[in-house]
Amino acid sequence: MASNPPKLKIEITSNERLKTLKEKFEARFGESPLFYACAPGRVNLIGEHIDYCGYSVLPMAIEQNILAAVSVNSLGTIQLANTNPQYQDFKVPCSEEIVIDREDPKWHYYFLCGVKGIQEKFGIARLAGMSCVVDGTIPPSSGLSSSSALVCCSGLLTMEANHKSLSKVALAEICAKSERYIGTEGGGMDQSISFLAEKGTAKLIEFQPLRATDVKLPEGAVFVISNCCVEMNKAASSHYNIRVVECRIATKMLAQARGLDPRALLKLSQVQTELKASLEEMLVLVDEVLHPESYSREEICKVLDITSEQLCTELLSANTQH
């Protein structure tokens, strides 16, 4: 597997989607794109909602993706357009600080997450002006990581437009962190498989440190992904982050119960590592320490010996303060 994102030469006329995107870019900006960037969506085969606990997952990329046509402009602005008319154009001067509104998670804020991540990684005082038209074939808010693919595509093209270079692993880590600007406290699976995927194989994704191992798919196997058409924007509600903070609180409680310092631990896998426990032993520990009924704020604070203010600032996310 190549360590850096590959740069490929593609004949535009033989690819209808690229040809159409090029035409829309030219109609919008009056020039041809300088390059194209692409990031796929994903489906998870094993290990749903455990990456943010530090545990391994087994996703694979899908054919549906986010594709962007890009040029570097001399206007000193980032100009965004989308082939889907439901997503409005957006423009921001490169001289301004990038601000991402968590209360209003529109499509361009996901794009700006990737831009901001690259800017901060390299300490770029003034970003290159960019004109971009984005085309997506991943059904939005369908659980196939359309938002993460957009963040990854944005990070990739921002890196290229500003003449920087990073490995795919480094890009995945940056994009996982930068998506948190919009309020989603994910564990990094979506961004990792978007950058590290290869044809014909799923990937065993492990964390701390991030690494990927091929898991070859059966020859001739076909995976059918059914869309129930019920949309869920992770950043627009607290449902996703509630699970994350519940696991974070459980981590602290299990650590406390076994004499570990809970201040240094945020993920369940860290507790398991510290205790040198098997998964079976961890299940027994959960049953011993935690009760199945809901915990009140007061009970959590009493068990962890923290104030309500510490609970809010150290354990809860912005959209789970309730």
113, 178 Cβ separation under 8 angstroms: yes
Positive or negative torsion for Cα 131, 137, 139, 144: negative
Distances, alpha carbon 192 to alpha carbons 24, 210, 281, in Å:
30, 8, 29
For residue 164, the Cα-to-chain-centroid distance in whole angstroms is 21
DSSP character string of 102-164: TTS--HHHHHHHHHHHHHHHHT-SSPPEEEEEEEE-SPTTSSS-HHHHHHHHHHHHHHHHTT-
DSSP character string of 72-101: EESSSEEEEEESSTTS--EEEETTSPP---
Integer-rounded Cα Rg, in Å, for the chain is 21
Give the SS3 label for residue 213. strand
Identify any residues that bridge with 136 across adjacent strands, giving them in sequence order.
66
Give the SS3 label for residue 209. coil
Instruction: Retrieve residue 289's tokens.
Output: 């320490």
Give the SS3 label for residue 210. coil
Which of the residues are catalytic? 190
DSSP character string of 46-71: E-TT-GGGT--BEEEEEEEEEEEEEE
Residue 226 neighbours by CB under 8 Å, 6+ apart = none
Distances, alpha carbon 46 to alpha carbons 50, 60, 112, 272, 294, in Å:
10, 10, 30, 20, 27
Burial class (CB in 10 A: 0-12, 13-18, 19+), 240: buried
